[in-house]
Amino acid sequence: MKFLHDEKLDHVPFSTIDLEEYLPELDNLITLSKQRIDEIKSESNPNFENTIIKLEESAKELGLLAGIFFNLNSAETSDRMQEIARDFSAKLTKYDNDVNLDGELFQKLKSVYDHKGSLDLDQESLRVLEKHYDDFSRNGALLSEGKKEQLRSLDEKLAQTSLSFGENLLSETKAYELFLSEEEVEGLPEGIKEAFKEAAVEKGQEGKYLVNLDYPSYVPFMQYAQNRELREKLYRARMSLCFNESETSNINNIKELVQLRDQRARLLGFSSHAEFTLKKRMAEKEEKVFSFLEELKLKALPKAKEELEELKEFAKNNGFEGELQRWDYSFWSEKLKKEKLSLDTELLRPYFKLENVVDGVFQVANKLYGLTFKRDDSVDVYHEDVTAYRVHGENDEYVGLFYADFFPRKGKRGGAWMTSYKEQFQKGGEDHRPHISIVCNFTKPSKTKPSLLNFEEVTTLFHEFGHALHGLLTKCRYRSLSGTNVFWDFVELPSQVLENWCFEKECLSLFAKHYETGELISDETIERMQGLRTFHEGLATMRQVGFATVDMNWHTKGAGVEDLGAFEKSVMDEMDVFPKVDGTNFSCSFGHIFQGGYSAGYYSYKWAEVLDADAFEAFKENGLFDTKTAKLFKENVLESGNKKHPMDLYIAFRGHEPKVDALLRRGGLI
């Protein structure tokens, strides 16, 4: 893989990569990186250039390889790749520990750090010095030799257990298939039925309809299927993923992950994994997060109860008998929404052809930041569904490479995310631009219809594209500070703030046109869509607060828990407005905190909503596409990476700290 050594790499040559090359190449690059570490350790007079800069550059090829491997293991994996992932992850974890726990290397770094006041460093260089020192300290550099070995063992187990969690979740999600008759899909929109029918044909089931647990399948079925028993069956399947006694159960994985994280935190001198995590977050302390969630709960819970009572009454008046259960919520909520807002969200789909929405978000980026996106089919991609774009700025300068990957498939995990294949950095007077990707699972085209997104998918695309802008527009000197390498409770600001444009006429008029007639979405429809911001916002807020509270409880007092179901229930009891469903448990499929990077950090979504609601008010005050406001946001947030503390960056943009009232106003909670 010679391309890994090319700092000016134009694009990753995916088609040339052989799976069997990964492990030998990993070994080679680990050896190379260790040689560079030895050079740093041999320095008799450590300084910023020969220690910090060299450390920053020591594993650049290794980081590129690891990024490619783990990105593809999420977006285009296979049984063989998952086998390789176990060895790959173990070797990489060992290397990371070899570096982080190298006492001689740390002393060189500490020598520079201890003299930082006399080095005359600029803000960004001082930031990268402090970051490396903190990273080493937080990863065991100050431990005794005996405790360092304990940390190595914990990290190896953590890496493997997290991999196992993700593999089990992917396996059970993709294995579930429900083949239904025409009668059993009654109530579903024709476009959805057609997609389900084609999916069944692909599986050799002519005349049937295939429903699975991927969101483009699961969500519309729960919203529109008349058959209540089947909604219950699908809900129970989704909410019991990996909560069982099978080989793909995640029960023991969760117990082990929580225990290992707690042990690791205590070994490093923290009282819990949450305390360890929050030390490098805007929120800073467990108490502040719990207080923040409690404040939201106090505002949202009464509203959520009101909303549920209204929904129960509505369902009863429309012929429903019995107790409203979770599998009834989406179905009746959709009907109530249609009546209250005079809006059938399914009828919005024709106005959101995927290609038009992509063009729309590109136009938004152009109006705000002067960006242009040009498709480049000569760029090698890892799957035929992936499209590559060259991105240029307002003065035609090259900004970066952008990949878009939109549809579900067998080797792709669920959900939506943004990632980086190559990070931005500056060297020798040259700015090396990033390679950024967004990966989603949207409704696929059918034989007679293009990919028509529901409105939630539209906001998801804008969300992930906001992350992409954060990755693309970065202007940092150092890799480890660039792009989205920021505090986790700040990283969601660029993504969530962009979702706001989806509700605005000035934005929707750019792209929301009927895919057959070309007719623009009407002003009246847009006004009704505004109601989506407050419709059942109490219930939606409590859902997020519930997830965040469960996450925080797992990582403050979850170590040693034996009964996952009872633990989750005890946390959710005072927040859950629906009856508990036996046999279900969302922790076992909570990939964000047990597979991704959101452990003790799921609160970040609501935290960032406070930021984004406050930030968007600046655009509303000055103009949706006001270039001065956009320039301030670009310079202080999108370009700045981790050059400064995020609160300092936010204040530089907004002029004040964010106010929670902006979020509560937007959601109609005050």
Task: List, for residues 347-399, the tens digit of each pLDDT value.
Answer: 899 999 999 999 999 999 999 999 999 999 999 999 999 999 999 999 999 99
234 close to 221: Cβ distance less than 8 angstroms: yes
Output phi, psi for 614, to 5 deg: -65, -40
CA proximity to 596, closest of 436, 419, 469: 419
The Cα-based distances of 39 to 108, 119, 132, 302, 362 in angstroms read: 11, 22, 17, 62, 46
The Cα-based distances of 151 to 24, 96, 157, 183, 666 in angstroms read: 26, 11, 10, 57, 45
Residue 10: CB atoms within 10 Å:
15
602 close to 551: Cβ distance less than 8 angstroms: yes
Distance separating alpha carbons of residues 434 and 12, to the nearest angstrom: 12
Taken in order 508, 511, 512, 518, the sign of the CA dihedral is positive
280 close to 487: Cβ distance less than 8 angstroms: yes
Q: What is the pLDDT, as a whole number, of residue 21? A: 97
Q: How confident is the model at residue 346 (pLDDT cuts 50, 70, 90)?
A: confident
Q: Given a cut of 90, is residue 574 above it in pLDDT?
A: no
How many residues are there in the chain?
670
CA proximity to 331, closest of 232, 190, 226: 226
Which position has the token pair 């057609």?
194
* pLDDT tens for each residue of 80-124: 999 999 999 999 999 999 999 999 999 999 999 999 999 999 999
Q: What is the pLDDT, as a whole number, of residue 254? A: 98
Region 36-57: mean pLDDT is 96
Distance separating alpha carbons of residues 376 and 309, to the nearest angstrom: 53
Q: What is the pLDDT, as a whole number, of residue 408? A: 93
Q: Given a cut of 90, is residue 631 above it in pLDDT?
A: yes
CA proximity to 609, closest of 500, 531, 528, 530: 500
41 close to 33: Cβ distance less than 8 angstroms: no
30 close to 91: Cβ distance less than 8 angstroms: yes
Distance separating alpha carbons of residues 287 and 275, to the nearest angstrom: 10
Q: Given a cut of 90, is residue 522 above it in pLDDT?
A: yes
471 close to 427: Cβ distance less than 8 angstroms: no
Long-range contacts of 106-115 (CB under 8 A, 24+ apart): 106/136, 106/141, 108/40, 108/41, 108/43, 108/46, 108/51, 109/46, 109/51, 109/52, 109/55, 109/133, 109/136, 111/46, 111/51, 112/46, 112/47, 112/48, 112/51, 112/52
Residue 522: CB atoms within 10 Å:
12
Q: Given a cut of 90, is residue 513 above it in pLDDT?
A: yes
309 close to 301: Cβ distance less than 8 angstroms: no
66 close to 23: Cβ distance less than 8 angstroms: no
Distance separating alpha carbons of residues 115 and 561, to the nearest angstrom: 46
Q: Are strands 425-427 and 398-405 parallel, antiparallel or unpaired?
A: unpaired
SS3 389: strand
Q: Is 635 left (phi over 0), alpha (psi -120 to 50) or beta?
A: alpha
Q: What is the pLDDT, as a whole number, of residue 488? A: 87
Please tell me the number of Cα atoms within 13 Å of 567 on its side-chain side.
23
Higher pLDDT among residues 522 and 346, named by residue: 522
Which position has the token pair 């560079």?
36
Looking at the DSSP bridge assignments, the partners of residue 373 are 391
* pLDDT tens for each residue of 178-206: 999 999 999 999 989 999 999 999 999 99
Distance separating alpha carbons of residues 455 and 461, to the nearest angstrom: 10
CA proximity to 126, closest of 143, 112, 147: 112
Beta strands in 165-285 (DSSP E): 178-180, 209-211
Residue 413: CB atoms within 10 Å:
21
Q: What is the pLDDT, as a whole number, of residue 345? A: 87
436 close to 471: Cβ distance less than 8 angstroms: yes
Q: How confident is the model at residue 158 (pLDDT cuts 50, 70, 90)?
A: very high
Q: Which of 464, 492, 504, 537 is catalytic?
A: 464
* pLDDT tens for each residue of 203-240: 999 999 999 999 889 999 999 999 999 999 999 999 99
Q: What is the pLDDT, as a whole number, of residue 471? A: 98
Q: What is the CA radius of gyration of the chain?
A: 25
Q: Given a cut of 90, is residue 660 above it in pLDDT?
A: no
Region 336-343: mean pLDDT is 93
Has 49 been annotated as catalytic? Answer: no
Please report the domains of the chain, with CATH numbers, ordered by start residue: 2-142 (1.20.1050.40), 176-239 (no CATH)
Q: Quote the tokens at residue 200.
A: 């069944």
Q: What is the pLDDT, as a whole number, of residue 450? A: 95
Q: How confident is the model at residue 447 (pLDDT cuts 50, 70, 90)?
A: confident
Distance separating alpha carbons of residues 661 and 573, to the nearest angstrom: 27
SS3 432: strand
Alpha helix ranges (H) inside 268-349: 273-278, 286-317, 326-341
Contacts of 357 (CB under 8 A, 6+ apart): 453, 458, 461, 511
* pLDDT tens for each residue of 277-324: 999 999 999 999 999 999 999 999 999 999 999 999 999 999 999 999
494 close to 638: Cβ distance less than 8 angstroms: yes
Q: What is the pLDDT, as a whole number, of residue 596? A: 83
Beta strands in 307-465 (DSSP E): 372-375, 387-392, 398-405, 417-422, 425-427, 430-432, 435-439
Q: What is the DSSP letter of 258?
A: H
Distance separating alpha carbons of residues 23 and 91, to the nearest angstrom: 9
Distance separating alpha carbons of residues 228 and 315, to the nearest angstrom: 13
121: exposed, middle or buried (C-beta count within 10 Å: 0-12, 13-18, 19+)? middle
